[in-house]
Structure 1
Amino acid sequence: MKSSLVLMYGGTFDPVHHGHLRSALELTQVLPVSRVHLIACQLPPHRDQPGASGAQRLAMLQLATANEPLLIADDRELQREGPSWSADTLLSLREEYGSLQPLAMVLGWDAFLGLPQWSRRESLLELAHLIVVARPGQMHEASPELLQLLQQHELKPGEQLNATPAGRILRLSLPSAMQVSATYIRRLLGQQASARYLLPDTVIEFIRTNQLYQP
């Protein structure tokens, strides 16, 4: 009997919104997933620093996932100092779950296109599978290096991601493909406009109480 997948879904979550949450939940519906670790990063190495603190972003994640048992608000990157490297996080998850557990990291197509610039990128597929989520309108082509990586590692027809612990790449489009942007939400909040229905009401209340994303 094959094991269920454990997923690493990282991000700044600044703030967490329904696009993040719906994508995470749909991954559990289209793949044999036992849990999704939503991991707020400490210092994102490839983007601007978050507007909310690590503790605040973790608190919003905890509020957002409180009633969904398959989604876990994970603070392991917030416990480390310095930039949040995915290889370190995957190694931590691998140590927690053991060498035989099918483990996969979720990333968007745009992030995948930047993979050649990632730290210790060669170790990622040794530690986990990669699930690359494509969204409508993302038409940028992969580099020759990434095309070769896909040729070597992409999941073949009839193969299952949870049949092995690591080493495969799955390209996936999710049913809802919700286009919600944390940047847009922060802009709305900075203009004192309503962001309701873009993120959970509990998160909106936390943002209001803590006066986050104000001009």
Structure 2
Amino acid sequence: MLSKPIGLLGGTFDPIHIGHLRPAIEAQQALSLAEIRLIPNHIPPHRANPRCSSEQRLAMVRLAATENPGFVVDERELAKNSPSYTIETLMALREELPDTPLCFLMGMDSLLGLSGWHRWQELLDYAHLVVSCRPGWQPDYPAPVTELLAHHQTRDAEALHLRLAGHIWLADNLPIDLSATALRNLLAKGQDPRYLLPASVAHYIDQQGLYRTDAKIPLASPAQPGRK
């Protein structure tokens, strides 16, 4: 018998905010997930180095997790000195949790660009894909995604409990038009970020003086080419 599925949400979380958390909360409730694992990465393969250090981002993710029942932090990608590829993380989790369905949470923008991800054809061998809608992203799917949906999409939430992997579930969630870039720009101007991220995270950012125009940018290993 399979265990209850768990949700997986990866990212730089620079900083973590409601655009990350609210879709995850809705997926947790809609799919009856046992937990949501927040997986911050150290070297993102698909974008520039984060503004804050791995230690600072981990501290913010931990604070966010404590405010949300059923949320936990998985630090495995922070321990890597190489780019964090989703397929490698899913393979490691599958080995650790052989009887637990894995639900990898992503936005519609990520689904549309899935064919650019590292070993993307193998993702559904290890997890279900749970896709949240994003403002401004219409579902005009490229051919590879159209084919994936034709073979793997389900509207039945219970189906994700009955198989370890292989389904794509499109969420009907409340779209939140907020990016970490926009939030960092707001913080750099000294504006109040209230209600855009957890209060404890906002307090940590203020206490540490993060994202201010006079804040020092930490040194980090150079990002490597490639995709998630």
TM-score (norm 2): 0.87
* C-alpha contact (below 8 Å) 1:112/1:132 kept by paired residues: yes
C-alpha deviation, 1:157, in angstroms: 5.4
Once residues 156 and 63 of structure 1 are traced to their aligned partners in structure 2, the CA distance between those partners, rounded to angstroms, is 33
Q: Cα RMSD over matched residues? A: 1.7
C-alpha deviation, 1:178, in angstroms: 2.5
Q: Measured at CA, do residues 53 and 36 of structure 1 come closer, stay the same or move farther in structure 2, by a change above 3 Å?
A: same
Q: Measured at CA, do residues 123 and 28 of structure 1 come closer, stay the same or move farther in structure 2, by a change above 3 Å?
A: same
Q: In the alignment, what sits opposite 1:192?
A: 190
C-alpha deviation, 1:111, in angstroms: 0.7
Q: In the alignment, what sits opposite 2:220?
A: none
Q: Which runs of 5+ in 2 are unaligned?
A: 214-228
Q: How does 1:62-101 map to 2 (within 5 A)?
A: 62-98=62-98, 100-101=99-100
C-alpha deviation, 1:16, in angstroms: 0.7
C-alpha deviation, 1:97, in angstroms: 1.1
* C-alpha contact (below 8 Å) 2:109/2:134 kept by paired residues: no
Number of residues of Structure 1 aligned to a counterpart in Structure 2? 213
Q: Which runs of 5+ in 1 are unaligned?
A: none
* C-alpha contact (below 8 Å) 1:32/1:162 kept by paired residues: no
* C-alpha contact (below 8 Å) 1:153/1:169 kept by paired residues: yes
Write the letter of the residue equivalent to 1:102. P
* C-alpha contact (below 8 Å) 1:3/1:163 kept by paired residues: no
SS in structure 2 of the partner of residue 52 of structure 1: coil
Once residues 47 and 135 of structure 1 are traced to their aligned partners in structure 2, the CA distance between those partners, rounded to angstroms, is 19
Question: CA deviation digits over 1:12-53, x for unaligned, max 9?
Answer: 111011222222211111112001111111111112221011
* C-alpha contact (below 8 Å) 1:106/1:131 kept by paired residues: yes
* C-alpha contact (below 8 Å) 1:25/1:71 kept by paired residues: no
Higher relative contact order (CA 8 A, sep 6+): 2
Question: CA deviation digits over 1:160-194, x for unaligned, max 9?
Answer: 111100111111121x3222221111001111121
Residue identity over aligned pairs, in percent, reads 40
SS in structure 2 of the partner of residue 170 of structure 1: strand
Bigger mean CA offset, 201-210 vs 77-86: 201-210
Write the letter of the residue equivalent to 1:41. N
Write the letter of the residue equivalent to 1:182. A
Q: In the alignment, what sits opposite 1:48?
A: 48
Question: CA deviation digits over 1:47-97, x for unaligned, max 9?
Answer: 222101111111001111114331112211101111110011111211221
* C-alpha contact (below 8 Å) 1:154/1:168 kept by paired residues: yes
* C-alpha contact (below 8 Å) 2:188/2:211 kept by paired residues: yes
Once residues 90 and 72 of structure 2 are traced to their aligned partners in structure 1, the CA distance between those partners, rounded to angstroms, is 15
Write the letter of the residue equivalent to 2:39. I
Q: In the alignment, what sits opposite 1:177?
A: 175
| Displaced runs of 4 or more, over 4 A | 156-159
